[in-house]
Chain A
Amino acid sequence: MSKPKEFHFKPLNVGRWIVWGLFAVILLVAPRIWTSGLAQTMLTQMGIGIIACLAYNILLGQGGMLSFGHAVYSGMGAFLAIHALNMAGAGTLGLPVSLIPLVGGAAGLVFAAALGYVSTKKAGTPFAMITLGIGELVFALALMLPEFSGGEGGVSSNRVIGKPLMGITFGPQIQVYYLVAVYCFICTAAMFALTRTPLGRMLNAVRDNPERVEFVGYNTHWVRFMAFTISGFFAGIAGGLGAINTEIVNGEVLHASRSGAYLLFTFLGGATFFFGPIIGAVLMVFCGVLLSELTKAWLLYLGLIFLFMVMYAPGGFASLILMNLRVAAFGKLKKLWTSYLALAGTALAALIGAATMIEMVYHRQLNEALGPELKFMGATLNSAGLDAWFGAGFLIVIGVALFELVRRQYVHEWGKIQEDIEKEIKRREAL
């Protein structure tokens, strides 16, 4: 039986080329726009964070695997990379610095394959528990092997080794940034490509309905295992880049708090979209570097943001952006912007009230010796007096009350606009 050969028309996807071109340009020019030392350090960390969060999202967003121990693979990548860097510096390993991150990737891959074989047998809660256990185990083990982990002090290295190639020594931060940028672009492209392959699609299927996957011929354990290993590889690359960037690696890189950060910021960025973790990684660096400078209570604020995000926008920032883009595409965003302004204003009032209280509590707990006075947002507050507390409480109550009023109005408007859009789509389909 012969079938007529079907003709396949595959248009060049212009939009995709533009998006990737834009991504490359941003990576290229970012350090030219923000030229300060701090900015370059942050940009480098962002590039590393993007790889790590995207790698984590292969598990969380695409595979539905909630891992509490992904720092194990980025951390092992970092340790192996720093040892490789030291060996290269001593001349016992003939590897240029630019390829050292691949050592990290290989380490992540091997450890993910060895440790993930057990955890990926299960999904859901057992998987999460096993990853948590393995995370604690590896962290404890690393500290018990000071020859490997350098104990409390960690392992330090020097990334300027060998003869400079075309003037590149990786001494200056900007050169490290561009190394990270190249890896970031390639890894992002590779991980995006993965979502377009049979394995990537079956991983989504395993996320949605592991039972049915077994009845269409796939072994769910193997799908999860391969995805876990690939994720470990990219996490290891991120770890290796981190080792080159900081030139010191200690037990912290394996710690559960690092795993928690991957989870938290991947979720905040938006696990359901491929690009969500990129936003998450940028936030991760901003919070870790700037917010932590601004206030000692930064983890508390971060926890609050996370809480509200889980409750009201489980798709993360990416979903918020996309939903509003959809509204904008139908030309209805201008109806909403007054609501957004009101929401922002009232939320800000409540936030300032709450922040004032939080800062005063922190001041009383940590800086008691400096007296009851503290500076907050340009004002001097007396944390011992009643009026500052009363004012802050008043601001919270008013802010929250007004916010709730505005929110109800906004939800109503939003629902109506969504209905209109649905109608419009139906109408266009009918044409």
Chain B
Amino acid sequence: MSFALELRDVRKSFGKSEIIRGANLAVQAGERVAIIGPNGAGKSTLFNLISGRFAPTSGEIHLHGQRIDGKRPFEINRQGLSRSFQVSNLFTRLSVFENIRCAVLWSLGHRYAFWKFLADLDDANDRTEQILEMIKLDKRRDVLAMNLTYAEARALEIGITIAGGSSVILLDEPTAGMSKSETKRFIQLIRDVTVGKTLLTVEHDMGVVFGLADKIAVLVYGEVIAFDTPDAVRANARVQEAYLGSVLAEAQAAAA
């Protein structure tokens, strides 16, 4: 059987330093995967490789059984993969409504059309309104993206990511910088808008990880050292070593 997303021995070097050292991962359709790992483990780099921002140095990436490594971001997006960014990456001088509409146009087949008016594209406009309701920004539809509050900008970021209807969604730290209560609401929102989709998310907040994910992938020094259910990952000795190693060493040093 083919996986929704599969990484086979993916490697990436910047100059002489190898950031991703043979990452393997196989995600089944409909799974929600959280990718965790210490700072500098290469989580964001991994997302950049999958989404086509960078090409991997070696290895293969398959999306629904088709190779996507080395392809351009827009080609990968057209095959059904969409990503969000850690720092909100919006069309700042366009309204909230236009931001979402830009993200639905390609998926509805309007391509580079200059012979039809946006106002007449009922499918695109309806879909945009739906997305706005889903991300609860329908009241702010005419506000320019640059004038949104932080939490609203994060919601719009998610909205742009899911608007095209991609089946595989990559979220890069969707709740970074949010307050506790905002985070809680936001997780519910992410759950709602990604029903039936394959979800990969990078997260630091363990509460978010356990609230959102069916499976957890642990990335340490550019390698996936564990990929399992949350409970199994918690019990995994290598993960404990990677996460708690320094703490243990300190404890031993203190005891000595």
Contact = CB atoms under 8 A, between A and B. Distances in A.
Contacts, number: 102
A67 B110 CA distance: 28
Contacts of B91: 204-205, 208-209, 212
B98 interface: yes
B74 A209 contact: no
Contact of B73 (A8, A207, A215): A215
B247 interface: no
A287 B69 CA distance: 56
B228 interface: no
Interface string B104-128: 0111001111111111011001100
Contacts of A209: 89-92
Contact of B90 (A6, A200, A212): A212
Interface in B71-86: 72-74, 77-78, 82-83, 85
A201 interface: yes
Given A6-B126, A217-B77, A194 B98 contact: no
A197 interface: yes
Contacts of B116: 197-198
B151 interface: no
Nearest to B160: A216
Contact of B122 (A8, A193, A202, A207): A8
Interface string B11-33: 00000000000000000000000
Contacts of A200: 114
B144 to A, nearest CB: 10
B105 A202 contact: yes
B103 interface: yes
B51 interface: yes
Given A205-B91, A215-B74, A196 B118 contact: yes
B148 interface: no
Interface string B144-155: 000000000000
B93 interface: yes
B117 to A, nearest CB: 5
Given A202-B102, A212-B160, A214-B73, A197 B90 contact: no
Interface stretch (A89-97, A162-170, A218-226): A218-226
A208 B164 contact: no
Contacts of A10: 119
Given A204-B91, A209-B91, A217-B164, A223 B78 contact: no
B195 to A, nearest CB: 14
A199 interface: yes
Nearest to A217: B106
A230 interface: yes
Nearest to B101: A201
A212 B164 CA distance: 13
Nearest to A3: B126
B55 interface: no
Interface of A: 6, 8, 10, 193-194, 196-202, 204-205, 207-209, 211-219, 222-223, 226, 230
28 contacts: A6-B122, A8-B122, A8-B125, A194-B114, A197-B116, A198-B111, A198-B112, A198-B114, A198-B116, A198-B118, A199-B114, A201-B94, A201-B102, A202-B102, A205-B91, A208-B91, A211-B89, A212-B85, A213-B102, A214-B77, A215-B73, A215-B77, A216-B82, A216-B105, A216-B106, A216-B163, A219-B74, A226-B112
Report the 4 A-B pairs with minimum CB-CB distance, sorted nearest first.
A217-B106, A214-B73, A199-B114, A208-B91
Given A201-B101, A208-B93, A216-B160, 17 more contacts: A8-B122, A198-B118, A204-B93, A204-B94, A208-B90, A208-B94, A209-B89, A214-B52, A214-B73, A214-B74, A215-B89, A216-B164, A218-B74, A218-B105, A222-B112, A223-B112, A226-B114
